[in-house]
């Protein structure tokens, strides 16, 4: 009897935990924080601050595909398990951050090293910068100043920025990428919304393949089955599945409903 | 002992949250103070008097989404990291308070916000008294005022939302207690001021059959409907506006 009383008392307690995540608003990341990834697999063991990676800077210069397919970065923070040794061998960050690679007329600063002087240590904090005040080469405010504005995320319409020729993300690096002729992209199509009277989603492969190719999404995030067989819901997307793999944290966020639910309701 | 434990358990199930008959409605301020806030986030360090802000004076001209989406203001006082530098840079208040749209950040205007007076500007309250009346809050039925086009608040400042989602489904939410009539939720009346993402999925997740968690006890703590309807949108004590066929209204 006592046992049952305890269980009965605990059930509502656990039930309230399960729903604790809704009810109020979360803090919305500031424009310069949106897309920030904190990498801390091994940093503290090495006596360093976690790495702060800003998507806003990198995505202006390189396509998503380049890092997430060719270089092999995972799609979730800390899922890649990057080690200093990997970077030194020229994998992950070390693919470009090797002290040799050029970006325009700038030499891309080298990442991790096994031998370093006291002066070199300053370089560590350029990436291992979470919670540190580090002088930066690029200021977010000036960097995005001339880019077309958007209400969410970084406050930048990246798609338009590329259309207008304000950014030119590179899609391949010699020795890392293998260039293949592009596949023909499907025309834009409508995905019916589950909820009645919600506008249908217009999905554009063309807009996605510019930065992602095919392989970033298929077949893992979106199985390549016949059209209409995968049913995805907003609940799953909000959990980080399907579109949510990018559109919660890096690409324009799902709060910008009308950007996808854009087909006028008749 | 067992009986007592049993009774406690039964009681807990009967009155969720242990709040039976204990709807502590918040005190109702005078109409001209309803929705007014004092922003005091950095008050201790800066020793500058808290900034006063009145929702009624702003919502006449701008919908909620202008400030709470486009300008990034949080939904709770002092949560937004507003700084003078950001305001001067055209962020937050500075998006309008720049000397063009509204008074700017020149020294002459400091006291207009940083006066620590919750009732500042109440002499202008008479300007909104001609709007459709309501029994509570600002004593103004803002929804009606908008529907009757007595006010025409702007939906955006600089960046136009992609398109309009006119999702107008009205939900009927069964009350927790058998003797309370259901609450109605009209999407349209909310999307006139806000957008989907203002409430979904953070305040209200979109899972089906989860409405049973919108208990009044949690709403009164400022969750769910209480995020807005405790201090800005028409107040909770206006029972009939959500529970239209309720017998007794405060």
- CA-based nearest distance A76→chain B, Å: 21
A47: alpha, beta or left, given left = phi > 0 and alpha = psi -120 to 50?
A: left
d(CA A60, CA A147): 11
Spatial contact of B155 and B146, defined as CB atoms under 8 Å apart:
no
The three-state DSSP-derived secondary structure of A148-210 is: CECCCCCCECHHHHHHCCCCCCECCCCCCCCCCCCCCCCCCEEECCCCCCCCCEEECHHHHHH
A262 in contact with chain B, both atoms CB, cutoff 8 A: yes
Instruction: Search chain B and give the residue with CA nearest A16.
Output: B213
Residue B175 has what DSSP assignment?
A: -
Model confidence over B184-197: pLDDT tens digits? 999 999 999 999 99
User: SS3 for A144?
Assistant: helix
Residues 196-215 (B) with a CB less than 8 A from some CB of A:
196-197, 201-207, 210, 213
Contacts of A28 in chain B (CB under 8 A): 72, 74
pLDDT beyond 60 at B16? no
Contacts of B2 in chain A (CB under 8 A): 1-2, 5
Spatial contact of B107 and B99, defined as CB atoms under 8 Å apart:
no
Please work out, in degrees rounded to the nearest 5, the angle formed at the alpha carbon of residue B161 by the alpha carbons of B77 and A216: 100
Contacts of A238 in chain B (CB under 8 A): 201, 205-206
Cis peptide before B34 (omega within 30 of 0): no
The overall average pLDDT reported for chain B is: 88
**pLDDT tens across the length of chain A (266 residues):** 456 665 555 554 444 444 446 889 999 999 999 999 999 999 999 999 999 999 999 999 999 999 999 999 999 999 999 999 999 999 999 999 999 999 999 999 999 998 888 888 889 999 999 999 988 899 999 999 999 999 999 999 999 999 999 999 999 999 999 988 888 988 999 999 888 888 899 999 999 999 999 999 999 999 877 777 778 899 999 999 999 999 999 999 999 998 999 887 65
User: SS3 for B185?
Assistant: strand
Phi, psi of B37 (to 5 degrees): -135, 155
Mean pLDDT calculated for residue range B16-43: 80
- Quote the pLDDT of residue B15: 43
- Quote the pLDDT of residue A21: 61
- Quote the pLDDT of residue A177: 95
Spatial contact of B137 and B235, defined as CB atoms under 8 Å apart:
yes
Model confidence over B60-98: pLDDT tens digits? 999 999 999 999 999 999 999 999 999 999 999 999 999
Residue A8 has what DSSP assignment?
A: H
Q: Do A256 and B74 touch (CB under 8 A)?
A: no
Model confidence over B205-238: pLDDT tens digits? 888 777 677 889 899 999 999 999 999 999 998 9
Task: List residues bridging with A38 in a β-sheet.
Answer: A52
Dihedral sign (CA A31, B98, B31, B192): negative
Contacts of A5 in chain B (CB under 8 A): 2, 5-6, 8-9
Q: Do A23 and B159 touch (CB under 8 A)?
A: no
d(CA B36, CA B42): 18
Virtual torsion, Cα B127, B130, B131, B134, nearest 10 deg: 110
- Quote the pLDDT of residue A266: 57
Q: Do A262 and B195 touch (CB under 8 A)?
A: no
**Best of B91, B165, B224 to mutate (most A CBs within 10 Å, chain A):** B165
Virtual torsion, Cα A50, A51, A55, A58, nearest 10 deg: 170
Spatial contact of A241 and A75, defined as CB atoms under 8 Å apart:
no
- CA-based nearest distance A207→chain B, Å: 16
- Quote the pLDDT of residue A2: 58
Contacts of A264 in chain B (CB under 8 A): 163
B7 in contact with chain A, both atoms CB, cutoff 8 A: no
pLDDT beyond 90 at B105? yes
pLDDT beyond 90 at B14? no
pLDDT band (50, 70, 90) for residue B3: low
- Quote the pLDDT of residue A224: 78
CB atoms closer than 10 angstroms to residue A194: 11
A141 in contact with chain B, both atoms CB, cutoff 8 A: yes
Percent of chain B with pLDDT over 90: 71
Residue A25 is nearest to which of B9, B163, B202, comparing CB atoms?
Answer: B202
Residue B127 has what DSSP assignment?
A: G
Whole-number CA gyration radius for chain A: 22
Residue A100 has what DSSP assignment?
A: S
Instruction: Search chain A and give the residue with CA nearest B205.
Output: A22
**Best of A3, A16, A23 to mutate (most B CBs within 10 Å, chain B):** A23
ipTM of the complex: 0.83
A198 in contact with chain B, both atoms CB, cutoff 8 A: yes
- Secondary-structure breakdown of chain A: helix, strand, coil percentages, each rounded to the nearest 5: 30, 10, 60
């Amino acid at each position: 009897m006592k046992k049952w009383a305890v269980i009965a008392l605990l059930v509502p307690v656990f039930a309230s935990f399960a729903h604790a995540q809704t009810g109020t608003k979360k803090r919305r990341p500031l424009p310069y924080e949106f897309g920030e990834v904190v990498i801390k697999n091994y940093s503290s063991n090495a006596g360093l601050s976690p790495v702060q990676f800003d998507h806003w800077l990198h995505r202006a210069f390189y396509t998503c595909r380049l890092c997430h397919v060719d270089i092999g970065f995972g799609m979730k923070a800390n899922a890649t398990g990057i080690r200093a040794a990997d970077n030194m061998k020229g994998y992950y960050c070390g693919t470009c951050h090797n002290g040799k690679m050029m970006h325009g007329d700038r030499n891309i600063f080298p990442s991790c090293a096994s031998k370093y002087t006291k002066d070199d240590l300053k370089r560590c904090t350029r990436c291992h910068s979470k919670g540190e005040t580090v002088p930066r080469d690029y200021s977010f405010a000036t960097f995005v100043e001339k880019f077309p504005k958007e209400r969410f995320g970084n406050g930048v319409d990246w798609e338009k920025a590329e259309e207008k020729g304000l950014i030119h993300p590179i899609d391949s690096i010699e020795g890392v990428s293998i260039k293949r002729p592009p596949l023909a992209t499907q025309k834009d199509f409508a995905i019916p919304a589950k909820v009645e009277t919600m506008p249908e989603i217009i999905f554009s492969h063309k807009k996605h393949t510019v930065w992602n190719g095919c392989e970033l999404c298929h077949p893992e995030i979106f199985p390549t089955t016949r059209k209409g067989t995968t049913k995805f819901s907003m609940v799953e997307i909000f959990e980080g599945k399907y579109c949510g793999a990018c559109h919660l944290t890096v690409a324009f966020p799902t709060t910008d409903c009308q950007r996808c639910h854009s087909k006028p309701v008749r | 002992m067992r009986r007592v434990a049993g009774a406690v358990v039964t009681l807990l199930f009967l009155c969720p949250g242990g709040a039976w008959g204990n709807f502590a409605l918040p005190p109702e301020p005078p109409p001209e103070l309803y929705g007014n806030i004092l922003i005091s986030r950095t008050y201790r360090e800066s020793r500058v008097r808290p900034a006063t802000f009145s929702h009624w004076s702003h919502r006449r001209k701008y919908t909620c989404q202008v400030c709470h989406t486009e300008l990034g203001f949080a939904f709770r006082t002092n949560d937004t990291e507003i700084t003078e530098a950001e305001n001067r840079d055209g962020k937050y208040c500075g998006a309008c308070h720049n000397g063009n749209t509204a008074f700017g950040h020149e020294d002459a205007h400091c006291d207009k916000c940083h006066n620590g007076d919750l009732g500042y500007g109440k002499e202008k309250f008479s300007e909104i008294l001609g709007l459709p009346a309501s029994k509570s809050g600002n004593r103004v039925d803002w929804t009606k005022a908008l529907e009757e086009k007595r006010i025409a608040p702007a939906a955006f400042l600089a960046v136009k939302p992609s398109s309009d989602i006119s999702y107008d489904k009205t939900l009927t939410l069964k009350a927790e207690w058998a003797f309370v009539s259901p609450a109605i939720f009209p999407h349209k009346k909310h999307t006139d001021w806000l957008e989907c993402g203002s409430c979904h999925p953070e305040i209200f997740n979109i899972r089906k059959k989860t409405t049973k968690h919108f208990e009044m006890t949690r709403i009164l703590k400022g969750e769910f409907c209480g995020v807005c309807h405790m201090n800005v949108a028409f107040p909770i004590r206006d029972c009939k506006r959500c529970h239209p066929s309720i017998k007794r209204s405060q």
